[in-house]
Structure 1
């Protein structure tokens, strides 16, 4: 099949499902598409087939549009013909998706495999890809181009020593391209049973990267990595002190917030169907997290300068952060990076004892309310950090963050003014004000107004870290379902260093300047009047006013309260557990699992439906068997349950729009062995106002300019506290009052649930390993006011879909 006639069967299931979802509407959907494709006789479908297509809507996960696409694929419909028909029915959304996310992306669906073959045997290396309608293949041996390698298959009829080596395939379309994995062809000569390529063993399995010993502190994150090559692909199993670690089966091991109990010997068993090897055994030493421990006092005394560098010159009375990531704009280009960037920065700042509120997709009112609530966490000596990722612009030195509901021709009246936020932060007499703005700074031609801020106080504690310089764009790199902004890709590697915050940002700027992919396209800009050596790693010292500190703890904790896990007993004898976890401060995961089932019930599942209005719940993505299918890409589940106890996941976003307590129905579908009919039981559940919904960010706020303790204490009587939360206030006070640096995690699952529900602290790395060495320019992250034709330069060698 020629590339221009690429069939629908070669498109990924995720893309087809998304396309089918777009076709599930009456005005311009699958019925109109069925009429359009009927112009060609092979795509004329009978009334029975169309009826079957319609009935798919009755299935919980059914999609008439997806079913029609399956019919088209079975009869050999090409991507080009489908695109032609979608244009004919004027389905602009589907045309745009197909063009930007399928046809203009190159995805390798079959990688070439390394081979060990006998001399004189035929060799076939295959690389198959989907994407644009005109794909071209070019094979290389090492750095040398293969003249005959211009097809998906590279064939040698008789292998000789000249064919031994490493091969890679370049797949391109126009000025877009992608490389396959390397494949190694090793020639086994007569009588040769070993290979110099696999020095550790003659089995064909080779450990290419050994784990390394570690010396860490309590509270750090332990990271060990073991890489290997094998055919079939290797599998991994980690061991701690020679004991099996059941869920640690990846090539890397990551344990967040370690304690001295994690001190010991680690090793990895690497194996496949035929062979097995062990990595080096490495020692992990873990010291106490406090310098007051006797075993660490000697180091501090002997080397005071080193201790000063680790502790920092200053202390904070508290550390708080507000992180906002706007992606799904109503009238502007959609973004992808803010989700992964906010999640990653959240995890890093928590390790530095910051109280973090992380929010996605806020409108104008919600952004203003979130900032006002954030200000309540600030007080004398507190370190405040505000991070924003999304669309933005800068006019006449004033920076503006664009909410998701900003109109097409927005002005500063529709946005959040950064300089005004700074002024309000200064009124709180903070010890440090850090702004990290991951947005474009192009001028907005629709906004000719010049707002005049009141004079700023001379505080010498302000740091601005702009992801890009004046009148320039910021970029993000797309990979699979997640993306990273260029700024965060470099920042995360430096953020934990015990250096003055301006030194950290200087290092990030230098890192970006040395990278080919960012040089001349995006450069970090640092603005600061910071006079003291203040670092994000500075320790927290209890303030003089414990009442204010305790109030801040309560104010922060209220936005991170999750419903308690509960077990539901149905009349049929089935027990269902509901569990809750937070992906962000305004996004919650609900999972259901069957704990007990009577022996006469052969199948059952618990599904959620009929949610309270306000939050966003995609019914087609609800009650999914995996977090990925529920569109949660940043959490992982360690599945320790037997298969007979299934789990279903539902993702609820935009909790800040919940105006009353969250309610939903648990629908138990079950079937007895002696009956064909499926039975249904329902229970209506109310779980209160979880996470940030208690703050009622949808309501207008009054700006407060006083930072007195009286104002802080009066917060306890404000409308932000719901009646249900006041009832639990004594318990919360018991938990939070007494330590100004109390730090809660962003999720809470009862102790009995930890055995079956594991949450990963960081998203998977979303940048390809070759990213920092690549010369390919990234995709533009945010274009506030100009089209791509108006840009001073164009990037055409890199995937450019956002």
Structure 2
């Protein structure tokens, strides 16, 4: 084969040898590469006008005309080489310059030996090399050549466990068909990002057995690496039980107890729901003949935190509380609904809840807002420090609530936490992992149902386009049904399991319980006079239906009610016949938040944070002329201590229930 000698850099382009010119024209005509050359010359020298480019395009070989044009302007091979290099037209450049051995200019990895990729995402590795003639790329996984990966970029869609391994690139260069040059990139080990275990199938919450039966519990979890399992009875590990299934053969009375599974891998750990195993001492009655349980009273405390001082705000908690409150009222609950409480206010709200709830009553506690899990589950108040600073001592522990409510000896306590149960990141919040937390002990009874909108290491979600969070969006369809509570929770669980892809694997509800009887939220009540009297005190509102403004005798109708007819720490005052006036409202207490809205000719005054005031509330409403701002008339509302103000949630109480 005859090798053409490369030209000297000072040679004028039009003086190139015929063979070089012919090959160069062919390469630049291919894929309209000549346009890149024109752009390169214009970027550096502003050489060609739009009319010049139109002339090039009109020719059968634009590259031939272009080379003649730059040659006529005394363009040298050296200048053309610089333009080709800048445009990364290496095949054309190799015709005009001496061969250069290939070198790798960009390795596929940094200093890290291992690259971690979340499952289902795309892997992209890049290896760049330079040489003349231009090099070729071949990628390898281990010792296996990846025949479909022949560019400088390795791309694997939907990375999974089968793609784990060591990757590297072999860069080859063929010089004049006589010499083959090969260089290898650094090797990079690519693994799936470790994921803590997530339990997708919990052990059944309750198992009844006869002596000699075989009891089987199962717990199915996913994670990476593959989770490991350990089974516990009470707080004692069961030796040898290290699969996702626990089988107890020949059960006896000594087999009774609470069982749960500890699931772990290098990324984290999670406890399963408890499974309570009980022996049947006698034949149970048929379901239809079993009498319904009767509660002394049914009381609910609902708390929704959505406006935080140092944490991100949420969209739906107030809506979620309002939705649940409306349903529970319809089925006979006395409901206390509160929003945006500090830690002290949350504790005092639980204290008030415990004083309302009589012995043998049904208690329903619901919290929606920010939360976390680290050994126990914690609810974050609105005054919690920022994400890197909050501690368990800044939060309300679920066990603290359970302890205080169970002291009342309710027939049923149903606690529902609609919040994230993720462990705070050790790098972002190291202090919370070093904290020595308080311990809240309580004596377990067969009267507790614990429901979580999600499970450990997962979040609870809301969508900006929907009124309610994902869990309440499904719960509200079934909450009022006359069915056992566990059946209702299973319906919600199944619906969320059929949610869209953005939620089905990210939010997995979890149920834990100690009850053995079928409780219904619709069960009847006998009534409890003390609870009724205390509840009516917390519902107290001024008895006003009309007001007359001073000076002008302007008369308006008034309606005063809880905000959204729901919240006990916010108040709505509707005043009619106000369209023609500008209005100014004043209150003495700076901790109260005042908002004004108009609806047709009605003025709606909303007072938030009623729980913060220690004194009776006095509201002054002044009418002004809309153009001159001159005061026309005024009225002073003596609101006394409405709704939750009488519970004194501002009080600094370290113990929720008086001895």
Normalization by structure 2: what TM-score? Answer: 0.52
Shift in CA distance, 594/528, structure 1 to aligned 2, threshold 3 Å:
same
Q: CA deviation at 1:670?
A: 5.1
Where does residue 610 of structure 2 map in the other structure?
655
Where does residue 559 of structure 1 map in the other structure?
538
Q: Report the Cα distance in structure 2 between the residues aligned to 1:502 and 1:406, rounded to whole angstroms.
A: 33
- Secondary structure at the residue paired with 1:327? coil
Q: Report the Cα distance in structure 2 between the residues aligned to 1:453 and 1:677, rounded to whole angstroms.
A: 60
Where does residue 402 of structure 2 map in the other structure?
422
Deviations 1:548-575 (A, max 9, x none): x222112222222122224225332322
Where does residue 443 of structure 2 map in the other structure?
457
Where does residue 121 of structure 2 map in the other structure?
none
Q: Does residue 587 of structure 2 align to residue 611 of structure 1?
A: yes
- Secondary structure at the residue paired with 1:512? helix
Shift in CA distance, 519/670, structure 1 to aligned 2, threshold 3 Å:
closer
Could you tell which deviates more after superposition, 493-502 or 575-584? 575-584
Where does residue 697 of structure 1 map in the other structure?
649
- Secondary structure at the residue paired with 2:317? helix
Structural mapping, 1:698-737, within 5 Å: 698-701=650-653, 703=655
Shift in CA distance, 604/455, structure 1 to aligned 2, threshold 3 Å:
closer
Q: Report the Cα distance in structure 2 between the residues aligned to 1:387 and 1:483, rounded to whole angstroms.
A: 18
Q: Does residue 342 of structure 2 align to residue 402 of structure 1?
A: no
Deviations 1:7-51 (A, max 9, x none): xxxxxxxxxxxxxxxxxxxxxxxxxxxxxxxxxxxxxxxxxxxxx
Q: Report the Cα distance in structure 2 between the residues aligned to 1:677 and 1:387, rounded to whole angstroms.
A: 46
Where does residue 470 of structure 1 map in the other structure?
456
Q: Report the Cα distance in structure 1 between the residues aligned to 2:650 and 2:412, rounded to whole angstroms.
A: 29
Q: Report the Cα distance in structure 2 between the residues aligned to 1:391 and 1:504, rounded to whole angstroms.
A: 25
Q: Report the Cα distance in structure 1 between the residues aligned to 2:516 and 2:624, rounded to whole angstroms.
A: 65
Shift in CA distance, 615/305, structure 1 to aligned 2, threshold 3 Å:
farther
Q: Report the Cα distance in structure 2 between the residues aligned to 1:330 and 1:569, rounded to whole angstroms.
A: 38
Where does residue 433 of structure 1 map in the other structure?
413
Shift in CA distance, 308/693, structure 1 to aligned 2, threshold 3 Å:
farther
Q: Report the Cα distance in structure 2 between the residues aligned to 1:430 and 1:685, rounded to whole angstroms.
A: 40
Q: Report the Cα distance in structure 2 between the residues aligned to 1:537 and 1:442, rounded to whole angstroms.
A: 33
1:538 aligned to which of 523, 529, 549:
523
Where relative contact order (Cα < 8 A, 6+ residues apart) is larger, the structure is: 1
- Secondary structure at the residue paired with 1:625? strand
Structure 1 outlier segments of 4+, above 4 Å? 304-309, 675-679, 704-707
Q: Report the Cα distance in structure 2 between the residues aligned to 1:433 and 1:450, rounded to whole angstroms.
A: 28
Shift in CA distance, 458/617, structure 1 to aligned 2, threshold 3 Å:
closer
Contact in 2 for aligned 1:427/1:706 (Cα 8 Å): no
Where does residue 504 of structure 1 map in the other structure?
488
Q: Report the Cα distance in structure 1 between the residues aligned to 2:440 and 2:451, rounded to whole angstroms.
A: 22
Where does residue 570 of structure 1 map in the other structure?
550
- Secondary structure at the residue paired with 1:476? coil
Where does residue 308 of structure 2 map in the other structure?
329
Contact in 1 for aligned 2:393/2:437 (Cα 8 Å): no
Shift in CA distance, 588/455, structure 1 to aligned 2, threshold 3 Å:
closer
Contact in 1 for aligned 2:549/2:633 (Cα 8 Å): no
Q: Report the Cα distance in structure 2 between the residues aligned to 1:339 and 1:454, rounded to whole angstroms.
A: 29
1:492 aligned to which of 451, 454, 476:
476
1:664 aligned to which of 604, 614, 619:
619
Structural mapping, 1:101-250, within 5 Å: none
Q: CA deviation at 1:306?
A: 9.5
Shift in CA distance, 355/606, structure 1 to aligned 2, threshold 3 Å:
farther
Contact in 2 for aligned 1:576/1:606 (Cα 8 Å): no
- Secondary structure at the residue paired with 1:428? coil
Q: Report the Cα distance in structure 2 between the residues aligned to 1:616 and 1:704, rounded to whole angstroms.
A: 25
Shift in CA distance, 424/670, structure 1 to aligned 2, threshold 3 Å:
same
Deviations 1:40-90 (A, max 9, x none): xxxxxxxxxxxxxxxxxxxxxxxxxxxxxxxxxxxxxxxxxxxxxxxxxxx
Q: Report the Cα distance in structure 1 between the residues aligned to 2:629 and 2:391, rounded to whole angstroms.
A: 59
Where does residue 568 of structure 2 map in the other structure?
585
Contact in 2 for aligned 1:328/1:361 (Cα 8 Å): yes
Deviations 1:590-610 (A, max 9, x none): 122239xxxxxxx84373411
- Secondary structure at the residue paired with 2:522? coil
Q: Report the Cα distance in structure 2 between the residues aligned to 1:314 and 1:411, rounded to whole angstroms.
A: 41
Shift in CA distance, 498/612, structure 1 to aligned 2, threshold 3 Å:
same
Deviations 1:701-737 (A, max 9, x none): 3536578xxxxxxxxxxxxxxxxxxxxxxxxxxxxxx
Shift in CA distance, 404/702, structure 1 to aligned 2, threshold 3 Å:
closer
Q: CA deviation at 1:308?
A: 6.4
Q: CA deviation at 1:341?
A: 0.3
Q: CA deviation at 1:432?
A: 0.5
Q: Does residue 657 of structure 2 align to residue 684 of structure 1?
A: no
Instruction: Give the count of matched residue pairs.
Output: 362
Q: CA deviation at 1:359?
A: 0.4
Q: Report the Cα distance in structure 2 between the residues aligned to 1:647 and 1:452, rounded to whole angstroms.
A: 51
Q: CA deviation at 1:433?
A: 0.8
Q: CA deviation at 1:698?
A: 0.8
- Secondary structure at the residue paired with 2:577? strand
Where does residue 507 of structure 2 map in the other structure?
522
Shift in CA distance, 519/610, structure 1 to aligned 2, threshold 3 Å:
same
Contact in 2 for aligned 1:594/1:605 (Cα 8 Å): no
Q: CA deviation at 1:483?
A: 3.2
Q: CA deviation at 1:452?
A: 5.7
Where does residue 345 of structure 1 map in the other structure?
324
Contact in 1 for aligned 2:549/2:555 (Cα 8 Å): yes
Q: Report the Cα distance in structure 2 between the residues aligned to 1:682 and 1:604, rounded to whole angstroms.
A: 14
Q: CA deviation at 1:659?
A: 1.9
Contact in 1 for aligned 2:300/2:365 (Cα 8 Å): yes
Q: CA deviation at 1:612?
A: 2.6
Q: Report the Cα distance in structure 2 between the residues aligned to 1:676 and 1:537, rounded to whole angstroms.
A: 58
Shift in CA distance, 575/670, structure 1 to aligned 2, threshold 3 Å:
farther
Contact in 1 for aligned 2:305/2:339 (Cα 8 Å): yes
Where does residue 127 of structure 1 map in the other structure?
none
Q: Report the Cα distance in structure 1 between the residues aligned to 2:445 and 2:378, rounded to whole angstroms.
A: 22
Shift in CA distance, 306/463, structure 1 to aligned 2, threshold 3 Å:
closer
Deviations 1:738-768 (A, max 9, x none): xxxxxxxxxxxxxxxxxxxxxxxxxxxxxxx
Q: Report the Cα distance in structure 2 between the residues aligned to 1:677 and 1:437, rounded to whole angstroms.
A: 49
Q: CA deviation at 1:438?
A: 0.3
Q: CA deviation at 1:328?
A: 0.5
Contact in 2 for aligned 1:372/1:701 (Cα 8 Å): no
Q: Report the Cα distance in structure 2 between the residues aligned to 1:385 and 1:528, rounded to whole angstroms.
A: 14
Where does residue 35 of structure 2 map in the other structure?
none
